[in-house]
Amino acid sequence: MKKRLFLTYPLVACFLFSCQQKPAETQTEQKPVEQPAQATAQTKDMQSFAQQKGCFACHDISTKKVGPAFKDVAKKFAGEKDAEVHLAERIKKGGVGEWGNVPMPPQNVTEQEAKDLAKWVLGLK
């Protein structure tokens, strides 16, 4: 039993450390783009933002890692009226139990960043 606990604590600590915010890199100016390409640019920007925040340490767009794939999250919440608010709250405050026993720690994002990430995840198909 002690051996199991001895091995579990470092794994949990490593998991929690990997989900913390990464330092922001310098931002470059972006040129305006045409309307159809703008949606693609915004998607790329949100994907880059999610990478900067460390989301891809535990999640992937199409493949389950430690946490669910973003597309699986979008499917689960498709059609729910308060999905964006619920998901933004989970991103900001963390949680456990909705996708299994592995906890998602609270993320170091603002309320608006959490809403933007939730909107992006829910828009993936």
Of 59, 80, 78, nearest to 70 (Cα)? 59
Is residue 35 included in any domain, yes or no? Answer: no
Contacting residues for 58 by C-beta, under 8 A, at least 6 apart: 15, 18, 19, 65, 66, 67, 104
Is residue 11 included in any domain, yes or no? Answer: yes
What one-character-per-residue DSSP string does 49-115 give? HHHHTTGGGT--SSS-SSS--HHHHHHHHTT-TTHHHHHHHHHHH-B-SSSSSSPBPPPS--HHHHH
Is residue 27 included in any domain, yes or no? Answer: no
Domain membership of residue 95 as a residue range: 2-20+43-123
Q: What's the CATH code of the domain at 58?
A: 1.10.760.10
Give pTM, 2 decimals. 0.67
Is residue 36 included in any domain, yes or no? Answer: no
State the Cα–Cα distance between residues 46 and 113, nearest whole angstrom.
Answer: 10
* Number of compact structural domains in the chain: 1
pLDDT of residue 3: 54
Is residue 94 included in any domain, yes or no? Answer: yes
Is residue 28 included in any domain, yes or no? Answer: no
How does pLDDT run along the chain (125 residues), one tens digit per residue?
Answer: 555 544 454 444 444 445 555 444 444 454 444 444 455 556 668 999 999 999 999 999 999 999 999 999 999 999 899 999 999 999 999 999 988 899 999 999 999 999 999 999 999 98
Is residue 45 a contact partner of residue 119, using CB atoms and an 8 Å limit? no
- Pull the structure tokens for residue 89: 């709250």
